[in-house]
A and B are shown apart, each in its own frame.
Chain A
Amino acid sequence: MKIKRFREVLGFNILRLCVWAVIFILIVILYDIISKGAGVINWKFLTQAPKNGMTEGGIFPAIVGTFAVTVITALLSIPLGMGCAIYLNEYAKDGVMMRIIRMAIRNLSGVPSIVYGLFGVILFVQMANLGTSILSAGLTLGLMTLPWTITASEEALKNVPKSYREGALALGATKWQAIRTNVLPYAVSGMLTGTILGLSRAAGETAPILFTGAAFFLPHLPKSLLSQFMALPYHLYIMSTQHQAISKVRPIAYGTALVLIALIFVMNISAVVLRYRLRKVKTE
């Protein structure tokens, strides 16, 4: 009996060690970046362009670029993702078609990001003749985030009770009217929350924008959606591997990493706050 008990305690402690390892990893990551990045960040760093061969100055153009690309990503991904989720949850009947669509979504979410990059180069840069631009990069990321948007939106739709739809239909509403008035208003907060989480992942992606529009260095801000752009994740990549004075620009790299992580964190927090606020409004 004692041996059994001893084994149990030992086993559970090994499992506890695994969890501690995971927590430790996150602490190391955050500590290293915050402790070495925080000293670099000030108003100038956030609002100035890089200077003197990118050894001084700030990262303003990269912040603007990432913001612009993420807006394009959202404009493509949100409507198409929500539409697909509405089809799957409200219209489609169980059957071959539904199975094929679901399989496609699962597989799309497993397609490597660099393959989306290759696809974007051919489809947007070359075939659609958009060149390497904010638009090409944003649309590429938009396609990449589609499976996440769909999954999140469907989850939100599933949470709306069946009786809401039935009530509307019983009163003589058409299917679309029922969806529009009795389903979407209740699902939209969940849909947006999931979507913002997806967008925050897109904002941190580098591989898909490598060849679709991200630029090493630009002396001025992008003039239009067809311009190339600087982006935070790409800037971090450049500053940590491609710059000719790697050790000299290390603080800038740390600062960029911190801003990128902070941006993603803020997006995630606002998603959670949004969900909370909208839920409160709904119950009132």
Chain B
Amino acid sequence: MGKHNNLKENFIHGLFFLNGLLVVVLLVGIFALLVAKSVPAFKDISIREFLFSASWNPTATFVSPSYGIKSMLVSTLFVSIGALVIAIPIGIGSAAYLSDVADRRTREIVKPVIEILAGIPSVVIGFLGIVLVGPMIARIFHIPNGLNALNGSILLAVMALPTIISMSEDALNSVPKSFEEASLALGATKWQTLISIKIPAALSGIIAASMLGMGRAIGETMTVLMATGCAIAMPKSFLQSVQTMTSTIAIELGEVPYDTTHYYALFGIGLVLFIITFVVNMIADIALHRYQRVIK
């Protein structure tokens, strides 16, 4: 163990430390670049208009262009919440079945099903929204086309399901066995134990799962871009075409010249998106930590 060896060890340690630091730099870097590229937009747009006006018309030629993102923001939340309304009951139901009812063989069949579902690219899901879900919605509700908020919600629900199922199942599985045994010993049925003991005990884990599912739904681009019809409007019903924040960026960024107000405004939308998903993930994180502490 010479001095040389020690130096080398320290050097390697330092290298790995820098490598570890990289992820922090990346996260801060993403935020900083989004801020840097959004700020110039607010020379021409007031923050109030940006956040609270529902009129987005950056390419207006006869009137002055407008840059309000309210309708897209509401559309994003509208479609995402619709997705959760579908995905949470099915997801928790499936998780409960897998953790408490299914035998080993069933579990071994269902596990890969969920993994394959999670692996299907969003663009393929979006494609099925156009060719499969859209026509189905049009037929059921007797409307000319099925590219609307409902379509988006159904597809996002499919995409959120794997996350919600596997995380909720983990939460239910890590409820201490003694909780369950005490309940069964007192004469409760397995169903009563599941509903009134296990699910409440795993609740913050299940909430964390749902929040992560929501974060994914809010940030998802291709499915909503392809399936929601892309018409900027305040959503009033699920059968109406809407355009989310992610869709707007995807549609317009390719067409605007670099370094114009419109270009900067699109980065502003990106920043809003980043902040919302950040907060949603933080809530999931806090819920998860609380859950792990309670279980201990």
Interface residues of A (CB under 8 A from B): 4-5, 7-8, 11-12, 14-19, 21-23, 25-26, 28-29, 32-33, 80, 83-84, 86-88, 90-92, 100-101, 103-108, 110-119, 121-123, 126, 143, 146-147, 150, 172, 174-176, 197, 200-201, 204-207, 210-211, 233-234, 236-237, 240-241, 250, 253, 257, 260-261, 264-265, 268
Contacts and interface: CB of A to CB of B under 8 A. Distances in A.
B151 to A, nearest CB: 13
B17 A28 contact: no
A146 B26 contact: yes
Interface in B19-54: 19-24, 26-27, 29-30, 33-34, 37
A149 to B, nearest CB: 11
Of listed A80, A118, A172, residue having the most chain B CB within 10 A: A118
28 contacts: A4-B192, A8-B192, A18-B94, A21-B90, A22-B110, A22-B161, A26-B117, A84-B20, A87-B17, A90-B16, A91-B20, A100-B24, A101-B23, A106-B285, A112-B273, A115-B34, A117-B249, A118-B267, A174-B9, A201-B119, A201-B121, A204-B120, A206-B123, A206-B222, A240-B127, A260-B124, A268-B115, A268-B119
A236 to B, nearest CB: 5
Given A25-B161, A119-B34, A126-B258, 14 more contacts: A5-B189, A18-B89, A18-B92, A22-B165, A23-B113, A92-B17, A122-B33, A143-B26, A147-B23, A174-B1, A207-B222, A241-B225, A257-B127, A264-B121
Given A176-B12, A250-B131, A253-B127, A207 B246 contact: yes
B158 interface: yes
Interface stretch (B55-63, B173-181, B211-219, B232-240): B211-219
A122 B36 CA distance: 10
A19 B1 CA distance: 59
Contacts, number: 254
Interface of B: 1, 5, 8-9, 12-13, 15-17, 19-24, 26-27, 29-30, 33-34, 37, 89-94, 96-98, 101-102, 106, 110, 113-117, 119-128, 130-132, 158, 161, 165, 189-192, 194-195, 212, 215-216, 218-222, 225-226, 246, 249-250, 253-254, 258, 266-267, 270, 273-274, 277-278, 280-282, 285
Contacts of B267: 118
| Secondary structure type dominating chain A contacts | helix
Nearest to A88: B20
B219 A115 contact: yes
Contacts of A204: 119-124
Contacts of B274: 111-112, 115
Nearest to B222: A206
| Secondary structure type dominating chain B contacts | helix
A38 B194 CA distance: 44
Given A206-B221, A236-B127, A264-B121, A23 B110 contact: yes
A16 B97 contact: yes
Given A101-B23, A237-B126, A110 B94 contact: no
Nearest to A110: B281
Nearest to A205: B121
Contacts of B246: 112, 114, 207
Nearest to A12: B101
Given A84-B20, A210-B250, A236 B123 contact: yes
A261 B224 CA distance: 20
A86 B122 CA distance: 31
Q: Which 3 A-B pairs have the closest CB atoms?
A: A112-B219, A204-B121, A18-B93
Contacts of B215: 110
Contacts of B219: 110-115
A54 to B, nearest CB: 16
Contact of A32 (B94, B123, B128, B285): B128
A83 B23 contact: no
Contact of B22 (A80, A234, A236): A80
B24 A26 contact: no
Contacts of B253: 117-118, 121, 210-211
A146 B9 contact: no
A7 B278 CA distance: 41
Contacts of A201: 119, 121
B5 A174 contact: yes
Contacts of B254: 210-211
Nearest to B226: A241
A104 B16 contact: no
Contacts of B266: 118
Given A84-B19, A206-B121, A233-B121, A108 B94 contact: no
A66 B237 CA distance: 38
A259 to B, nearest CB: 11
B250 A104 contact: no
B290 to A, nearest CB: 15
